[in-house]
Structure 1
Amino acid sequence: MAGAGGGSPVACVLVAAGAGVRLAAGRPKAFVTVGDVALLVHAARGLAAARVVDRLVVVVPVGLEGETRQLLRDVTGAWSCAVVAGGATRQASVAAGLAVVEDAGVVLVHDAARAFTPPEVVARVVAAVRAGHDAVVPAVAVHDTLRDVTGAVVDRSRLRAVQTPQGFSVDVLRRAHAVPAAGRGATDDAGLVEATGVLVRVVDGHGESFKVTTPLDLVLAAALLVSRADVAAPLPGTPS
């Protein structure tokens, strides 16, 4: 495996260009707020807290570039940050972000809808790429009983639900996007890369890295924020 060098800069393409039709919030999903903060800002804060990302490229719907720069001005002050317009598909949006990634050995692709991904997951993915794995995905065990379309039970012990950020050696991801037909039908960048013959490494994800897709997910996200605030608050009577 080619792998990324231990000292290589890390870039992250934060994909925030989706319309969010299923969320039915009246605006693009990444700009919907939880706790009065846009999902894409929550996502950027998590990436910053991981302290392993050097450069951020945010991909947003056409016309929202200026608003995005304003939203992120306090989050990305210490980073190299670019904002670009996305394409008609998620794959096209990732390609648009990847096109402006320069001088990086590791590239992450992160979905802004997974806005509450713990920083340790981000660090874990980067560490695995730097250890020599050209494609890395975080994933969690499947807890539901599953059946296929014939009604047969599926062995869930062999299954994992894939999350983001997904990490790659930058050259590997660029090659995969250069021949997208090879990954026709791929639902994420790891699938696109795998179609070129690269093995995908799975590392531990986290339950808090769920994808905000439906109105019920927004309720869960709000509850998670309250829970995090309770954990962070000092106990009564303790020094602040």
Structure 2
Amino acid sequence: MSLDQPAHRRPRVAAAVLAGGVGSRMGSAHPKQLLRLAGQTILERSVAALCAAPEVDEVVVVMNAAHLAEAEKILAEGRYDKVSRIVPGGASRSESSLAALQAVDDYDDNDLLLLHDAARPLVSGRTITACVTELTEVGAVGVAVPSSDTVVQVTLDVSGREVIAAVPDRAALRRMQTPQGFRLGVIRRAYARAFADPGFTATDDCGVVLRYLPEEPVRIVTGEESNIKVTHPSDLAVAEALLRTGVAQ
């Protein structure tokens, strides 16, 4: 695949905020992306971060279908000018990613797409810029941070209980974050192959490229510890503390 661009224009950059989940682990009747974090919804903070990035031309929101109208109202009131459309998400992360791809079907294969979890509302402009910069050289990038914990691989013993099967070298391990960025031609080809595979399952878009386009390198951008994912109620408290202390903006 050639990454060369016509001399008359730079690649367009679309960013998709994936907010299709229900956030059941938050223990709330409301999707976690619509919970408030320091006066704004989590969804708004993620959208605002991408809208503020000068590299991003357009923002698409992939929303839980049952709360589409509520998201439209919230984002309209916030006047996020780069938000071009809000579309319903699917039953899985991969189906929501596919909805994002379909929303930018007018983009060329050499244009860029950033896929970002709405549940990471503290993503920095530095991280977004780094992803777009790396995509001038490669077709896929992921944001990750080194693992400070020892990670073990487990299996089940004869009684059905977990036991340690292996202890991978921590120096080679990273914890993935978002955004994840792609040349559209790359992620389109990867998903075309994935959805043709009856055994396809995935929770990570870089993993789709890794599995179905093994010849395509996925470069790592070093992320930030403050780019946390709000999954449990305690994560919301941590995010509020990061904003309050100025560690995250």
Between the aligned partners of 2:64 and 2:142, the Cα distance in structure 1 is: 25
Provide, for residues 70-89 of structure 1, a one-character-per-residue CA deviation record: whole Å limited to 9, x for no partner. 22235554325210011111
**In the TM superposition, what are the counterparts of 1:107-118 in structure 2 within 5 Å?**
107-118=113-124
Query: Mind listing any 5+ residue stretches in structure 2 that lack a counterpart?
Result: 155-163
Equivalent residue letter for 2:177: Q
The Cα RMSD (Å) is: 2.1
Q: Does 1:216 align with 2:220?
A: no
How much does 1:187 deviate? 2.3
Q: Does 1:161 align with 2:175?
A: yes
Between the aligned partners of 2:83 and 2:51, the Cα distance in structure 1 is: 12
2:153 maps to 148
Q: What is the TM-score normalised by the length of structure 1?
A: 0.88
Q: Does 1:202 align with 2:220?
A: yes
Equivalent residue letter for 1:168: F
Matched position secondary structure for 1:209: coil
2:127 maps to 121
Q: 1:132 aligns with which of 133, 137, 147?
A: 137
Q: Call closer, same or farther: CA 1:117–1:48 in 2, change over 3 Å.
A: same
Question: Are the equivalent residues in 2 in contact too, given 1:2–1:134 (CA < 8 A)?
Answer: no
How much does 1:228 deviate? 2.2
Between the aligned partners of 1:72 and 1:3, the Cα distance in structure 2 is: 34
Identity over aligned pairs, percent: 35
Q: What is the TM-score normalised by the length of structure 2?
A: 0.85
Provide, for residues 40-71 of structure 1, a one-character-per-residue CA deviation record: whole Å limited to 9, x for no partner. 10101111222211111101111322221222
**In the TM superposition, what are the counterparts of 1:220-239 in structure 2 within 5 Å?**
220-228=238-246
Between the aligned partners of 2:3 and 2:77, the Cα distance in structure 1 is: 33
2:159 maps to none
Provide the aligned length of Structure 1 versus Structure 2: 230
Question: Are the equivalent residues in 2 in contact too, given 1:4–1:169 (CA < 8 A)?
Answer: no
List structure 1 segments (4+ residues) > 6 angstroms apart after TM superposition: none
